[in-house]
Amino acid sequence: MDPSADSVSAATKPAPVGPGLIFDVVLRNIVPVCGMLFLGWPPGNLILLYIVDTMLSLCMMIAALMFYFIPVSNEDGVAARLNALAGPFGAAALTTLILAIPLGILVIFMLADTGFSLMKTLADPAFQAGLAAQFFASLMTFRTLYGLLRTHTPEQIELKKRFGLIFLRWFGLIMITFTGLPQMFGSAGPYLLVIVYAGLTIWSELLPDRFLKAMPGGVEVDKPDRNQNRDWARIAKRLKRTR
């Protein structure tokens, strides 16, 4: 299949918004809120899981993009293949780490004066299970994107849009934090942030186009670029030729 073709397979198209999808999206995002409100789940733990989820998702998108530009050749031997895998994943991890510094440092402001304890959170078995589940989910994300990018360009699978949706919903939480509204609630501020993030996630998954248009810079993310599709393919071909 020609990666620069205009036709896109059904696998790259978003699922239609029907009752099943609405139920799935709402249920996935309402469970943490209900657990926080009725089962005593610490909101600080959930916020920390949200930033980890954000960074892991971005990391796997960047890794998949790296493999699109620099595909792993069929090297002989396990060591050679592992060495070939290390480059793209290492570059993705470094890029994500750089992004995590400005994005993650703001968690300090979100949880300031709320009695949050990082050491207690890291020792919590429930938090550890959440981390493991998110890591597994991020690997599934990479597997899906890697498979799509073997037959499509990043533009065709709307990778820029996917990146923007994940980035901007966390940015939305940052904007709420800087309004000072969570601080007005004191120790209950993190509860508000968890509810807001759940709402932003539901909005971004069910109405992604409207979500992007409502967020700062989202219009540019959602704006299609007809020449970009050819540019992706051209750059990838040049990189593959140099290997």
What are the DSSP calls for 145-174, one per residue? HHHHHTTS-TTTTTHHHHHHHHHHHHHHHH
pLDDT at 50 over 60: yes
Position with higher pLDDT, 203 vs 16: 203
pLDDT at 80 over 60: yes
Position with higher pLDDT, 232 vs 162: 162
| Lowest model confidence (mean pLDDT) among 20-24, 63-67, 129-133, 238-242 | 238-242
Structure tokens at 17: 């918004």
- Using 50, 70 and 90 to split pLDDT, how confident is the model at 17? low
Mean pLDDT score, 19-24 = 87
How far is 183 from 170, CA to CA, in rounded Å?
18
How far is 64 from 143, CA to CA, in rounded Å?
8
How far is 144 from 142, CA to CA, in rounded Å?
5
Mean pLDDT score, 134-149 = 92
pLDDT at 101 over 70: yes
How far is 176 from 172, CA to CA, in rounded Å?
6
Structure tokens at 16: 């239609």
pTM of the predicted model, to two decimals? Answer: 0.81
